[in-house]
């Protein structure tokens, strides 16, 4: 009986220590995320930390590209008859795009490195924690004309700024719709030059991944897993990577952080 | 315990075992029969629930506009005119056009929704929000991808827009539940604007014959 009481006391102590540690860790992470970046004087309106301060707009601040190879883990995404899996191919594509972007001196962050499957929110959170980033989610379709590429940007999304000045996480993309469209059109234009049959401008869509991303964000969908040979898709990787890298360079001068959450640039 | 009590105890136990031996097969039969009746009831209920709304020949025949894939460009939708006897009741009318959309066009290559998807229920709320509840096949049988999922949703929204004026927005449920995405890409947590011209918050009315299909629709939450 005495032993049981001692065990309960020990458990309580451990629980208290655990809670205290978690609180300290949380505060430390929050402070680290709010610390000003050495290259950026104006905070970006990220979904979690944005304040509705009428600060000046900051041009030419784009330094980071967050690449999102979609799906992963048990979610293989689109599957072709020849065993082609979207989740595997987009990871390879992300590697190519990363190289091309790093050659243009961008910092590149991947939402997954291997065959894991972060949630939509976890993927968005990586971009939302950056101060000067764009977000590119990579997909392979299961329909469409093979050898073509389509770029999607989020459909019109009414912005909701809460009374405390924070942007709603659910509509974090809203203040960036204008920038996303500009970036999407640039990428789609470059892709149309390389892949005949692709549209000239970006299309709008209700893509879940884009909605919670507080940065200029696009979805790039390559057609398709229906190709007979995976090599047909692999051959497209270099062209897609080059188009994204060049478009990101071209987009850099027009990258201006919206000065108010909810304001369309 | 004396001999007499022992005798009665053993007799009682033997009696209980014999009764159980006789009763157990009868009980098993009854359970089997009851399970059969329950299965039949569930199947019957499912059939009743999923039965397509029959067309009433007495309803006026109208030229319904249904949106399937364009045969000229399979990445866009095109309207097809189909003459149907449609009810004047918005809910029945919506079910009739959505079931016709699910049945697909003559050219099966141009269909936007899976063959095995079923419309389970349909309601219209007083504010003009239509709620369409589909079977799981809508999510599991549709080709995965932004393009294919967006075209599926757009074909439903534009078909309702063309044929059922009171509807303002469309909410899609899968088997009675709200799901995050249709098949991993298109967001189903919000609603899709239907009659954009009549919806105050929508900046762009949806042209009836637009080539940029997805651009005509607006997601709302």
Q: What is the pLDDT of residues B148-165, one digit of tens each?
A: 999 999 999 999 999 999
pLDDT at B60: 87
Q: What is the mean pLDDT of chain B?
A: 83
CB pairs under 8 A between A and B: 92
Domain range summary for chain B, segments of one domain joined by +: 61-220
d(CA B218, nearest CA chain A) in Å? 6
CA distance A76 to A91: 11
Query: SS3 for A26?
Result: helix
Residues 159-198 of A with CB under 8 A from B: 170-171
Q: Which residues in chain B are closer than 8 Å to A157, comparing Cβ atoms?
A: 219, 221
CA dist A175 and A167 (Å) reads 9
Taking the CA of residue B184 and the nearest CA in chain A, the distance in Å comes to 7
Are A43 and A55 in contact by the 8 Å Cβ rule? The answer is yes
Q: Does domain A64-254 have CATH number 3.40.630.40?
A: yes
Distances (CA, A) of A80 to A84, A168, B115: 5, 38, 19
**Res. B11 pLDDT band, cuts 50 70 90:** very high
Q: Do the Cβ atoms of B146 and A145 come within 8 Å?
A: no
Q: Taking CB atoms and an 8 Å limit, are A120 and B180 in contact across chains?
A: yes
Residues A156, B218: C-beta atoms closer than 8 Å: yes
- B83 HSE (CA, 13 A, CB side): 3
Contact A158 B220 (CB under 8 A): yes
* Closest chain A residue to the Cα of B150, Cα to Cα: A205
**pLDDT at residue A127, rounded to an integer:** 97
For residue A170, which residues of chain B lie inside 8 Å, CB to CB?
221
Asked whether the beta carbons of residue B219 and residue A206 sit closer than 8 angstroms, the reply is yes
Would you state the pLDDT for residue A256? 82
- pLDDT at residue B70 greater than cutoff 50: yes
Assess whether pLDDT exceeds 50 at residue B145.
Answer: yes
Chain B neighbors of A72, CB-CB under 8 A? none
Q: Is B112 exposed, middle or buried (0-12, 13-18, 19+ CB in 10 A)?
A: buried
Give yes or no for a contact between A124 and A212, defined as CB atoms under 8 angstroms apart.
yes
Do the chains contact at A142 and B186, CB–CB below 8 Å? no
Instruction: Determine the distance in angstroms separating the CA of A154 from the nearest CA of chain B, rounded to an integer.
Output: 9
pLDDT tens-digit map of A154-179: 997 766 666 777 788 999 999 999 99
Is the Cβ–Cβ distance between B200 and B207 less than 8 Å? no
CA-based nearest distance B219→chain A, Å: 6
Q: Do B218 and A155 touch (CB under 8 A)?
A: yes
- Answer for the pair A77, A84: CB distance below 8 angstroms, yes or no: no
Of B187, B218, B220, the CB nearest to A207: B187
d(C-alpha A242, C-alpha A193), whole Å:
12
Of A81, A104, A33, A47, the residue nearest A261 (C-alpha): A47
Q: Mapping DSSP to helix (H, G, I), strand (E, B) and coil, where does residue A119 land?
A: coil
Q: Which two tokens stand for residue A27?
A: 């505060």
Helices A86-103 and A237-251, axial angle in degrees (round to 10): 50
- CA B16 to CA B19: how far, in whole Å? 5
Confidence of residue B52 (pLDDT cuts 50, 70, 90): low
Question: What pLDDT is stored for residue B211 in this prediction?
Answer: 27
* The pLDDT of residue A22: 54
Residues from chain B that touch A78, judged by Cβ atoms under 8 A, are: 143-145
What is the percentage of chain B residues whose pLDDT exceeds 70?
79
pLDDT reported for residue A159: 65
What pLDDT, on the 0 to 100 scale, is given for residue A46?
37
Dihedral angle, C-alpha A219, A223, A226, A232, nearest 10 °: -120
Task: State residue B138's pLDDT score.
Answer: 98
pLDDT of B144 > 50? The answer is yes
What is the rounded CA–CA span in Å between residue B174 and residue B191?
A: 14
| Residue B55: per-residue pLDDT | 75
**pLDDT above 90 covers what percent of chain B?**
65
pLDDT bucket at B33, cuts 50 / 70 / 90: confident
Q: Is A118 on the interface with B (CB under 8 A)?
A: no
Strands, E assignment, B1-60: none
Q: What is the pLDDT of residue A2?
A: 43
* Domain-wise residue ranges, chain A: 64-254
Q: Is A155 on the interface with B (CB under 8 A)?
A: yes
Residue B48 has pLDDT above 90, yes or no: no
Does this model's pTM top 0.95? My answer is: no
Tell if the CB–CB gap between A224 and B145 is shorter than 8 Å. Answer: yes
pLDDT digits (tens, 9 = 90+) for A176-205: 999 999 999 999 999 999 999 999 999 999
Q: pLDDT at residue B50 above 60?
A: no
Say if CB A43 and CB A65 are below 8 A apart. no
Sign of the four-CA dihedral A57, A60, A61, A64: positive
Tokens matching residue B211: 């080539």
Decide if B218 and A86 are in contact by the 8 Å CB cutoff.
no
A205 → closest Cβ in B146, B180, B220 = B146
- The answer to whether the Cβ–Cβ distance between A157 and B219 falls below 8 Å is yes
pLDDT along chain A (265 residues), means of 10: 51 57 51 38 36 42 96 94 91 98 98 97 97 96 95 83 78 94 98 97 97 97 92 96 98 79 44
Nearest partner of A135 among A178, A169, A184, judged by Cα: A184
What is the structure's pLDDT at A1? 44
């Amino acid at each position: 009986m005495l032993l049981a009481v001692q065990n309960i006391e020990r458990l309580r102590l451990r629980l208290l220590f655990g809670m205290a540690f978690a609180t300290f860790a949380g505060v430390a992470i929050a402070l680290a995320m709010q610390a000003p970046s050495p290259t950026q004087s104006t905070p970006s309106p990220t979904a979690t930390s944005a304040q509705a301060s009428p600060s000046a707009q900051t041009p030419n601040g784009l330094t980071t590209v967050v690449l999102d190879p979609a799906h992963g883990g048990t979610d293989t995404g689109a599957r072709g008859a020849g065993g082609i899996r979207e989740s595997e191919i987009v990871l390879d594509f992300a590697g190519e795009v990363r190289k091309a972007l790093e050659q243009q001196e961008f910092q590149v962050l991947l939402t997954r490195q291997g065959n894991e499957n972060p949630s939509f929110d976890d993927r968005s959170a990586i971009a939302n924690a950056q101060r000067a980033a764009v977000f590119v989610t990579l997909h392979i379709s299961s329909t469409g004309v093979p050898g073509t590429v389509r770029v999607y940007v989020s459909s019109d999304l009414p912005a909701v700024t809460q009374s405390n000045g924070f942007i709603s996480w659910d509509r974090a993309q809203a203040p960036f719709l204008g920038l996303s469209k500009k970036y999407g059109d640039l990428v789609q234009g470059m892709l149309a030059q390389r892949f005949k049959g692709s549209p000239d401008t970006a299309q709008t869509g209700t893509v879940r991944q884009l909605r919670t991303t507080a940065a200029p964000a696009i979805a790039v969908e390559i057609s398709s897993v229906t190709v007979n040979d995976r090599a047909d898709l692999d051959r497209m990787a270099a062209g897609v990577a080059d188009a994204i890298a060049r478009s990101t360079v071209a987009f850099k001068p027009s990258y201006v952080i919206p000065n108010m959450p909810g304001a369309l640039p | 315990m004396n001999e007499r009590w022992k005798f009665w105890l053993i007799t009682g136990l033997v009696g209980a075992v014999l009764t159980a031996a006789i009763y157990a097969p009868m009980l098993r039969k009854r359970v089997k029969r009851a399970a059969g009746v329950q299965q039949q009831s569930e199947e019957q209920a499912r059939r009743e629930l999923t039965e397509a709304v029959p067309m009433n020949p007495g309803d006026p025949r109208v030229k319904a506009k249904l949106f399937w894939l364009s045969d000229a460009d399979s990445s866009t939708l095109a309207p097809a005119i189909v003459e149907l006897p449609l009810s004047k009741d918005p809910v029945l009318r919506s079910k009739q056009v959505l079931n016709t959309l699910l049945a697909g066009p003559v050219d099966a290559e141009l269909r936007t929704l899976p063959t095995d998807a079923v419309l389970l229920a349909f309601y219209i709320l007083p504010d003009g929000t239509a709620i369409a509840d589909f079977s799981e096949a809508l999510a599991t049988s549709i080709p995965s991808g932004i393009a294919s999922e967006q075209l599926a949703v757009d074909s439903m929204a534009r078909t309702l827009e063309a044929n059922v004026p009171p509807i303002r927005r469309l909410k899609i449920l899968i088997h009675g539940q709200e799901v995050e995405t249709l098949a991993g890409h298109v967001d189903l947590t919000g609603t899709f604007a239907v009659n954009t011209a009549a919806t105050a918050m929508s900046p762009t009315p949806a042209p009836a014959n637009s080539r940029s299909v997805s651009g005509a629709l607006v997601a709302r939450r």
